[in-house]
Chains A and B, each alone.
Chain A
Amino acid sequence: MARFEYAPAPESRDIGRLKEHYGIFVDGAFRDGAGEAVKTINPANEEPLAEVAEAGPSDVDDAVRAARRAFSPWAALSGRERAKYLFRIARAIQERSRELAVLESLDNGKPIKESRDVDVPLAAAHFFYYAGWADKLSYAGFGPDPKPIGVAGQIIPWNFPLLMAAWKIAPALACGNTVILKPAETTPLTALTLAEIIAEADLPPGVVNILAGGPEIGQAIVEHDGIDKIAFTGSTEVGKIIQRTIAGTGKRVSLELGGKAANIIFEDAALDQAIEGIVNGIFFNQGHVCCAGSRLLVQESVADEVIAALQARLMTLRLGDPLDKNTDIGAINSAAQLARIRELTDSGEAEGAERWSPPCEIPERGYWFAPTVFTHVSQANTIAREEIFGPVLSVLTFRTPAEAVEKANNTPYGLSAGIWTEKGSRILWFAQQLRAGVIWANTFNRFDPGSPFGGYKESGFGREGGRHGLEAYLAH
C-alpha cells in the first residue's frame, strides 16, 4: 500500500507560553514550594521544559489551612454565585485552549491533535457542565438540601493532566467543597496554568489549592487530618494503599483505578469501523488510558482478517513530534513508564506470545514505543492480565458469545469494555453481562461530562461525570 508522506505541520511551541519557573498555588497566591525544585521535561526529546518548585509537607499544611478557612464561606455562597465562578473557568479554558493544548503536548508527550480536540475541550466542557449544577443541587436526587463534604484532597495521574484536574475540581466546587489538587509529578504545567485561570477568575483564596509534588506529597494529603475526602485517579496498587490508609479516619473516598478492558469483535461487525475502534481503543494517547481496550477478543472466524486489516492500518500511523498536527502516536510520558512497558512486553515474548510492530522510525531522543500487537496470547499471559498502560494490544480469540463474556470478565478489573456487532439484541445482552462501568458499543473511548465514568471491582468505586458524579462530593 502506498504510504502518503506529509510535510511536517508543527504547532508553534511559543503558543504554550512556557515559563522558566513554576511554583505552587496556595491560598490564592503563587509561591515556591518548600520541597525540591525539579525540572519537568519534554518526553519527546528529554529536554527540560521548566523548573517547578515543588511542595513540601509544610505546604500541605498551609493548603489545608487555607482550604478549611475558605470552606464555610464557599459552601455558604449561593449556588448561583458558585456557578458563575465555574462558568468563568470554563470560558477561560476555552479562551486559552490553544495555549493549554500546546503546553499539554509539551509536558505529556501526547499528540497535539488529541490535546487540542479531546483533552482541552472536554476540560472546558466539564467545568461548564458542573457549573450548571451548583444552583440545582436540591433537584439532583440527593435530598432537599444536600451539603458539601468539606475539604477534598485530589490526586491525579499524568495521562490526562488538565482533563483529570477538571474532572476533580469542577464537581467538588459545584457542590461547595474546597480542594487541594496534586497533579502528577511529571505533568504539573497545565494544572498550574489552570491555577492562573482560577486566580484570574477571582475565586476566593483557598477554594482551590494546587500542589505540584511527588508521591510523598500525595501521601501527606491522604494522611492529613484536616481533609475530609480523598479523590484519586491512578493505579489499583496505590488505590488500595489509600483505602487502607484512610481506614478508621472517617474520610470519604472515591477511586478511579486501573483497567484491562476487553474489546470484543464479532464476525458480523462492520469491520472497517471496528478496526478504527480497535486503533482508537488502544493507541489513543499512546495507550496511557485506564479504560484502554488493551485486550482484543476477536471471533475466531474473522480473526485472521481482522489482524491483517489491523496491521495494515497500523502501518499508516505516524509516530513522532507530539506538536505535529499529523502525529498519531506521541511520546511515552516518562522513562519509568517506558521501562515498565518494555518489561511487560518482554514478558509477553518470553511467555510465548507473538510480537508485531509496524516498521516505524523511532526518534533518537525522547521516550518512544512503537505500536505493538501480540497474537497467540493466552489468558494466563502477563500481558493479558496486567495493565500495561502503553500502546500494546493483546489479541485473543473466542468462538461463542458465552466464551467472549467469560474471557472479558476474567480480570480483577472492570472499568470499560467494547463490543462490535451489527446485532442490536446481542449488544444489549453483552452490555448486561460485562462487569464494567462503561460499555462502548460500536465505538470506543468516548467521554462526556454528562456521562458517568468509573469502575466495577478493582477498577475502583464512585463515578465521575453526570448527575452521578455529584454524589462523591456531597455529605450523606
Chain B
Amino acid sequence: MPTKAKPSKAPERLRVRKTYKLYIGGAFPRSESGRSYPVTGSDGALLAQAAQASRKDVRDAVVAARKAQPGWAKATAYNRGQVLYRVAEMLDGRREQFAAEVAAAGDAVPNSKALFTVDAAIDRWVWYAGWADKYAQVVGASNPVAGPYFNFSLPEPTGVVGVLAPQDSSLLGLVSVVAPVIATGNTAVVVASEERPLPAVSLAEVLATSDLPGGVVNLLTGRVSELAPWLASHRDVNAIDLTGVAAEARPELQRAAADNVKRVYLPSHTDWDADPGTSRLAAFIETKTVWHPIGV
C-alpha cells in the first residue's frame, strides 16, 4: 500500500532567472556568435551564463557608438548632465539588487561593504553629472593673441572610445571609467570585467531606462584577450582606455592603436574609492581653437 505523501511546506516559488545579454545600440542582443561562458561567484558556485561577445559584436557596437555620437555630442551639456544624474537616480532605486550582485561577484570583501561600494558608484554618477556643464568652463579659454582676433579654445569629445573596464571592481570601477567618457559627449564601447560581468549587464538595464540615447554606451561581456585587439585596431574608434588590460598585454594593444593614431589611456591609479579628479575627463577630449578677426 503506497504510503501517503507527507504534506510538505508550500513549494518555494521558482525564481525567473535573467538571461545576461549584451547591450548594443540600446537593445539587448545575444552574442551573434551564439556563445556564452559560465560566470561563477567568489565561492565557485555558478551564477549565470554570460554572453561571450565576438569580433562581430565589437564591430556592431562600434557602428552603434558612431551613429549615436554626433547626437550625444550635440545634446546640451545641461541635458547630458541631467541624463547622467538620471542614471544615478535609477541606480539608487536598485541599490540592494546591485549590492547583492556586487557581493556575489566578489568585489566587496567583506560582503557588508557591498552597499558602500554601490553607494560610491551612485555618487560617482552624480559627480560626473555635475561636470558635464562645467568642464568646458574650467579647461576652455579665451586666448589673448597678439593681434586683432578673437580666439577661444574649447574641449570637444574625441568621438568613439573603447573602454576595457577594470577587472577587479565590477560596478564602482566600471562606472568610474564609463561616466567620464560620456560626460563630455563621447560614446563608448565597453568590455566589462571578464570574470565579474553580471553587475555590468544589470547596469546596462539601468542605462536603458535613464534617457540615455541608445548607442551612447554599448556593453560587451566576454574574453578581454579576444575582444581588446579588435577594439584597439578598429579604425573607427578614436581612443581606447586600457585600464582593464593586464600590464603584459598592453604593449601589443598600444601598437595596434597606432594604426589610426588612437589616443591611448593608461591609468595612473586604480583606487576606485579615491577622489577621481579630472584626468579621465581630460583623456578623452580634443581642444578646438577658433580664430576670428575683430573689425568694423
Contacts and interface: CB of A to CB of B under 8 A. Distances in A.
A437 B238 CA distance: 15
B138 A468 contact: no
Interface string A455-469: 011111101001110
Nearest to B258: A243
Given A247-B255, A443-B293, A451-B143, A255 B288 contact: no
Interface residues of A, number: 43
Contact of B292 (A247, A436, A443, A466): A443
A239 B258 CA distance: 8
A244 B288 CA distance: 26
B8 interface: no
Nearest to B250: A248
Nearest to A241: B258
Given A247-B254, A427-B292, A240 B261 contact: yes
Interface of B: 138-139, 141, 143-147, 149, 151, 153, 158, 238, 250-252, 254-255, 257-261, 263, 268, 279, 282, 286-293
Contact of A451 (B250, B257, B291): B291
A409 to B, nearest CB: 11
Given A240-B261, A247-B254, A461-B263, A452 B286 contact: no
Given A244-B255, A247-B255, A257-B261, A431 B288 contact: yes
A92 B158 CA distance: 40
Contact of A446 (B149, B153, B279): B149
A436 B151 CA distance: 15
Interface string A439-460: 1111100101011111011111
A169 interface: no
B290 A452 contact: no
Contact of B287 (A236, A441, A458, A463): A463
B287 A446 contact: no
B277 to A, nearest CB: 9
Contacts of A471: 282
A401 interface: no
A283 to B, nearest CB: 19
Given A439-B291, A441-B290, A468-B287, A446 B261 contact: no
Nearest to B139: A141
Contacts of B288: 431, 436-439, 456
A423 interface: no
A450 B254 CA distance: 32
B66 to A, nearest CB: 13
A180 interface: no
Interface of A: 125, 141, 236, 239-241, 243-244, 246-248, 255, 257, 412, 427, 431, 436-443, 446, 448, 450-454, 456-461, 463, 466-468, 471, 476
User: Which residue, A125, A468, A471, has most C-beta atoms of chain B within 10 A?
Assistant: A468
Given A441-B290, A476-B268, 12 more contacts: A240-B261, A244-B254, A248-B250, A248-B254, A412-B260, A431-B290, A441-B291, A443-B149, A452-B289, A458-B260, A461-B263, A466-B289
Given A439-B288, A440-B291, A456-B286, A448 B145 contact: yes
B143 A450 contact: yes
A467 B260 contact: no
A174 B286 CA distance: 23
A236 B289 contact: no
Contacts of A441: 290-292
Minimum-distance CB pairs A-B, first 6: A248-B251, A247-B254, A243-B258, A448-B145, A441-B292, A247-B251
A454 B251 contact: no
Nearest to B73: A432
User: Which residue, A125, A443, A460, has most C-beta atoms of chain B within 10 A?
Assistant: A443
A41 B250 CA distance: 44
A476 B287 CA distance: 18
User: Which residue, A246, A436, A440, A451, has most C-beta atoms of chain B within 10 A?
Assistant: A451
A198 to B, nearest CB: 24
Nearest to A236: B261
A469 to B, nearest CB: 10
Given A141-B139, A439-B290, A451-B291, A240 B259 contact: yes
Contacts of B259: 240
9 contacts: A441-B291, A448-B151, A450-B146, A451-B289, A456-B158, A461-B261, A468-B139, A471-B282, A476-B279
Contacts of A243: 254-255, 257-258, 261
B149 A468 contact: no
Contacts of A460: 261
A466 B292 CA distance: 17
Nearest to B150: A441
Given A244-B258, A443-B292, A450 B286 contact: no
A448 B290 contact: no
B181 to A, nearest CB: 16
Nearest to A448: B145
B144 A450 contact: yes
Contacts of B291: 438-441, 443, 446, 451
A466 B143 contact: yes
Nearest to A121: B146
Contacts of B238: 457
User: Which residue, B139, B146, B251, B252, has most C-beta atoms of chain A within 10 A?
Assistant: B146
Contacts of B257: 243
Contacts of A452: 141, 143, 153, 287, 289
Given A248-B250, A437-B288, A240 B143 contact: no
Given A443-B291, A448-B147, A466 B141 contact: yes
